[in-house]
Amino acid sequence: MLPISLRQLQVFESVARHLNHSRAAAELFLSQPAVSMQIKQAEGAIGLPLFEQTGKKLHLTAAGEELLHYARAMLQLMNEMESAFDEMKGLERGRLTIAAVSTANYFMPQLLAKFVQAHPKIQVSLSVANRDAVVKQVADNVADLAIMGQPPQGADMRAEAFLENPLVVIAAPTHPLARAKKIQAKQLAKETFLLREQGSGTRGVAERFFASHKLALPAHMEMDTNEAIKQSVQAGMGLGIISRHGIELELETKRLAILDVAGFPIVRHWYIVQRKDKRPSVAAHEFERYLLSESQV
């Protein structure tokens, strides 16, 4: 077996993650032919095919699955080594990749702007996705850390709260309940709700709220983004449960109203989530320290 280069591992990991040569090329600032060549060279070094094509879809072979495990471990060690030497030199630089759930995108840009201003040598990238995708990015070592409202269960992740996350019930300002006081759960149970997918943090809050009052989850429609929920609530299609952080503009412009519901707001927290087995880079350590100092719970 010929030696496989670090660059080939980086290209392979990116293609394996995206299952798409074009996306990998864009991520790595390479041409698509250059990506294809690196994959061919990696397959030549391994002596086995790493991908197979079914129609337009790309799949990992058994050899590809095996290499992906080692590639991620080796790339992580390389990043940790670079970070360790930077730390010894007293350098505050490097790359920081953050994954955040969509609602966090309402306050993360402001926090990131201040961090980047204070640490101009650190290259920061922010990826916004749904909760499952964010958890996967951290688990796959694609992101250094994640920002989310419902940390994953399991012993392989570390979560630290850094900011309060008040969840509220929202309605269109013209809704009959918009001017009501001390609305009870049984009144809400008669309404239609616009909720996120199963497994999301706000969906879990809704389920637990009604269950605690021995009520079934009301009639509801599933939405895949908070923006869709806000637009649908504004249109009068029903009520929503959402982080207050995500509706500041709509409240200012009076496009949404927060209902006065007994038991709300339900205050949860935003968490910094990282893998326990990963040594934080200097950049990740600095960002975590910054978040904790800026946004004490």
Q: Residue 64: is its pLDDT beyond 60?
A: yes
Backbone angles phi, psi at 138, to 5 degrees: -70, -45
Q: Are 187 and 177 in contact (CB under 8 A)?
A: yes
Q: Are 287 and 115 in contact (CB under 8 A)?
A: yes
Q: What confidence score (pLDDT) does residue 282 get?
A: 80
Residue 186 in 3-state DSSP? helix
Residue 213 in 3-state DSSP? coil
CA 25, 31, 36, 39 dihedral sign is: negative
Q: What confidence score (pLDDT) does residue 2 get?
A: 63
Lookup result for tokens 């699955």 = 65
Q: What confidence score (pLDDT) does residue 48 get?
A: 92
Q: Tens digit of pLDDT for each residue in 3-39?
A: 888 899 999 999 999 999 999 999 888 899 999 999 9
User: Going from the N-terminus, what domains does the chain have, and what CATH number goes with each?
Assistant: 6-73 (1.10.10.10), 92-163+270-294 (3.40.190.10), 165-266 (3.40.190.10)
Is 0.85 surpassed by the pTM of this model?
no
DSSP class of 199:
T
Higher pLDDT, 62 or 83: 62
DSSP for 103-137, written as a single string: GGGGTHHHHHHHHHHH-TTEEEEEEEE-HHHHHHH
Q: pLDDT band at 42, cuts 50/70/90? A: very high
Token reading at 195: 């909720």
Q: pLDDT band at 194, cuts 50/70/90? A: very high
Helix, strand, coil fractions of the chain, as percent rounded to 5:
45, 25, 30
Lookup result for tokens 């980047």 = 116
Q: Are 210 and 261 in contact (CB under 8 A)?
A: no
Token reading at 10: 């980086």
Q: Are 254 and 185 in contact (CB under 8 A)?
A: no
Q: Are 270 and 161 in contact (CB under 8 A)?
A: yes
Backbone angles phi, psi at 27, to 5 degrees: -65, -40
Three-point CA angle 79, 74, 122, nearest 5°? 15
Question: 146 exposed, middle or buried (CB, 10 Å; 0-12, 13-18, 19+)?
Answer: buried
Q: Are 131 and 157 in contact (CB under 8 A)?
A: no
Q: Tens digit of pLDDT for each residue in 227-265?
A: 999 999 999 999 999 999 889 899 999 999 999 999 999
Q: Tens digit of pLDDT for each residue in 83-118?
A: 777 765 655 567 889 999 888 888 888 889 999 888
